[in-house]
A and B are shown apart, each in its own frame.
Chain A
Amino acid sequence: TTRTPEFLGLSSDAGLQPQSDSGTDVVVGVLDTGVWPEIRSYDDSGFGPVPETWKGGCDDSKNFKAAVACNKKLIGARFFSKGYEASMGPIDESKESKSPRDDDGHGTHTSTTAAGSFVPDASLFGFASGTARGMAARARIAVYKVCWAGGCFSSDILAAMDKAVEDGVNVLSLSLGGGQADYYRDGVAVGAFAAMEKGILVSCSAGNAGPGDATLSNVAPWITTVGAGTIDRDFPAFIALGNGKNYSGVSLYSGNLLPNEALPLIYAGNATNATNGNLCLSGTLIPEKVAGKIVLCDRGVSPRVQKGFVVKAAGGLGMVLSNTAINGEELVADAHILPAAAVGEKMGNAIRSYALSDPAPTATIVFAGTKVGVQPSPVVAAFSSRGPNAITPGILKPDLIAPGVNILAGWSGGVGPTGLASDSRRTEFNIISGTSMSCPHVSGLAALLKGAHPDWSPAAIKSALMTTAYDTYKGGDQLLDISTGKPATPFDVGAGHVDPVRALDPGLVYDLSVEDYLGFLCALGYTPLQVAAMSNRNFSCDSGKKHTISDFNYPSFSVPFQTAIFGGGASGVTTVKHTRTLTNVGTPGIYKATVSTSTNDVKVLVEPSELSFEQQGEKKTYTVTFSAPSQPSGSSSFGRLVWSDGRHTVSSPVAFTWT
């Protein structure tokens, strides 16, 4: 990526880039659509021998010659298609490669985001130009192709995770998700549990089902669940209407520009006989009505870029793509096939109103390239899935957010930047958006931490990433949610936005062992069979021991007030206690607790309120008591608990809900 390293404070490397060979022994495994190995992001110049612990390899196949494709950077490339073919029939090799080769682009994008090598002069048609690199540019990459044109099947995913763990990856990155199932029924959760046991951090995308509530996937507590935010870069385009009004949008269009004079503007809903013609779906526009015009299309149903092809096929010269209420003001830039710009809902409404009311509406579109320094940033992407956690409300998810909007990274040579078959353009890099893009940022950053602290457990790395994340801008205002324009909550951002430089030295961590996770399963009330299915072991929950989610040593707090369960006094006040243990991974220090909440109704007591650490590895336990009066069901409120020694801040979000 060309901007996010700087956005994340990595431009000076801040000691995070291990130059020794030991740092390059970290392997990031990426389960996705495969790899396009010819691009420069997999260049292995300067890399030493493949780590001795590595047991993996590359699958040699018809269009993927392992000896050529793999090197000291790309050290693993396998594919898993048996489950896919069993369900969907044999792979049509004229359409997709039965090999690790990436026909889609998504897998090349995610793996290079996590750990791509430095590539000077990277850009997409000149947009976002700069030196591209992955977050852990010195780490090795192993790709496991599990996603095909028809989807990603759990039998293949599990087989790939099985192999990746055996191969010896240190971090697993999965930018995919399914529905919301119990952990023991969810292949990713099952695979991630075993990976965690072996010291592998598993980072997964939170999903793109936002901004609705409880839309998260990959919420198991042994997974790092990553939502998406914007960065300080934009690709502005300006729409000037015949009535003299100007509106701003975004675009990655590069090609022949529109004529200097204003062109006729038409709303797609007035250029169709179809009831949903406003969406510019294939075959719905009447060529006689759109030829030579700029067409205003509404977003939805079909891919954004496909609408451009539809307009072009009908003879349109340009397109304005308007968000609807679902997307609000969130702007996602696309490499459109014709001069086109995306605008937010409000501007779309204004342009539509003009197009429908003026007897001879006209417009022009001007493209302004790449702009950096955009503020405020980050803001939470509207598409980023949100909490609360529907599977285990007692665990706050997502864990954190990372850059996931308009991210430039490597791309497949087998497909154009729009991903559509009709796009004959080929580019080495592409700019796309999704929690798929934010997840590998965190995977790469986790690899950096693993390189710097090889002895840290996956839970310690995750804790470091979470407790050092920020939830305010430099001026102190809360991070914003673009879907509402209002401050984001922990249900949107979890602990906040990742800050890798601070994560390197978190001071304290909330560590978790396999036994802690088994205790968590007991707290869920899992039967011995369910625990066995989840953890591959014959384990019985100790009936004499009290297992509670509130004592699970998670780096964040979710406090569901349930009067019926916890009991309420005569005053109607409910009290919930959480216990946590902090481990010192830094220098000696005296840490003091401070708590802030968005409501005065909730009383929070931290005992003790001061913890003194004298040695590394020392552990101290504290209790937090949350007391609140009854609230209407569905209410929520938020807070933050911070331990600080004056040099480090160990920060945890708190979410209160009333059900």
Chain B
Amino acid sequence: GASATKTYIVRFARSEMPAEFVEHRHWYDASLQAVSDSAAVLYTYDTVTHGFSARLTPDEAEALGNRPGVVAVIPETRYQLH
């Protein structure tokens, strides 16, 4: 349902961080809090991508996708050993 959460990876364009933030981490937190009262960051990514992963409802994921600086909101994928 609409309230069911799943993990999303949210990627940001670092260069678009508003001047009011000193650290990207704070920008990510603020973006997440803007769309969700309860979601918590699982990981913050700094090297191979920029952004975070979190459990979100589909509505929250969509809302995050419309936030400034967000370039992609990708649902978690499960991989398998070969």
Contacts and interface: CB of A to CB of B under 8 A. Distances in A.
Given A80-B43, A194-B48, 20 more contacts: A82-B43, A83-B76, A147-B81, A152-B79, A154-B77, A159-B45, A161-B48, A162-B47, A181-B77, A185-B72, A187-B77, A195-B48, A206-B82, A207-B82, A435-B82, A439-B82, A529-B71, A532-B11, A533-B72, A536-B49
Given A87-B76, A178-B79, A207-B82, A82 B42 contact: yes
Interface string B40-68: 00110111111001010000000000000
A283 B4 CA distance: 37
B9 A538 contact: no
B48 A165 contact: yes
Given A82-B43, A162-B45, A532 B79 contact: no
Contact of A177 (B15, B45, B53, B82): B82
B70 to A, nearest CB: 9
Contacts of A538: 13, 15-16
A457 interface: no
Interface of A: 32-33, 80, 82-83, 86-87, 104, 106, 147, 151-159, 161-163, 165-166, 175-179, 181, 184-188, 190-191, 193-195, 205-208, 434-436, 439, 529-530, 532-533, 536, 538
Q: What are the 9 A-B residue pairs with the smallest beta carbon separation, nearest first? A: A194-B48, A533-B72, A155-B53, A205-B82, A436-B82, A152-B79, A154-B77, A159-B43, A191-B48
A157 B79 contact: yes
Q: From DSSP, what is the main secondary structure of chain B's interface residues? A: strand
A152 B77 CA distance: 8
Interface of B: 6-7, 9, 11, 13-16, 42-43, 45-50, 53, 55, 71-72, 74, 76-82
B56 to A, nearest CB: 11
A529 B65 CA distance: 11
B77 A186 contact: yes
A152 B7 contact: no
Pick from A83, A152, A155, A175 the residue with the most CB of B within 10 Å.
Answer: A155
B49 A178 contact: no
A83 B53 contact: yes
A532 B9 contact: no
Nearest to A185: B74
Contact of A158 (B6, B16, B45): B45
Contacts of A106: 81
A244 to B, nearest CB: 42
13 contacts: A83-B7, A152-B79, A155-B53, A157-B79, A159-B45, A175-B82, A176-B79, A176-B82, A179-B77, A184-B72, A194-B48, A208-B82, A538-B13
